[in-house]
Amino acid sequence: MVDDVKKDLDEQRHIWSTKGCTIMTDGWTDRRNRTLLNFLVSSAGGTVFIKSIDASAHCKNATYLCEQIEEVIEDVGEENVVQVVTDNAANYVAAGKLLITN
C-alpha cells in the first residue's frame, strides 16, 4: 500500500510540475480545544491531503501560519504553486500578505 501511495503521489507531483496546483489550508478546533491545521494540494489530477499539524501549543498568528504555509510551498515546489487558498480569518489574510512580501 505504501508503494502505491508513493506512486500516486509521484504522478500528482508530475501533474503539479506541468499544470500547476493550488495549496489549500484551513484551521479548526476540536472538542478538546486543540487547534489543527490541514493542508491539501489540488490540481488537474485531483486533491491530495499533504499533512495536518497540531498547532495547539502555538499562537495561530500570521507569522506562524505563514511559516507553515511556506513549508508546504517548499515541499510542493514554489514554481508549481499557482495560488494558496485559506479561510478569510484575519490571521490568514495577514499570513497571505506576509507570503507575498517574502
pLDDT of 28 reads 86
Question: How far apart (Å, rounded) are the C-alpha atoms in residues 85 and 68?
Answer: 14
- 16-59 tens-digit pLDDT: 999 999 999 988 888 888 889 999 999 999 999 999 999 988 87
Domain with 74, as residue range(s), is: 2-101
Q: What are the backbone angles phi and psi of residue 88, rounded to the nearest 5°?
A: -100, 20
* pLDDT over threshold 90, residue 2: no
Q: What percentage of the chain carries pLDDT values higher than 90?
A: 64
* pLDDT over threshold 80, residue 102: no
pLDDT of 30 reads 85
Q: What is the domain count for the chain?
A: 1
CATH number at residue 78: 3.30.420
Average pLDDT over residues 90-96: 91
Contact between 38 and 26 (Cβ < 8 Å): yes
What pTM was computed for the model? 0.88
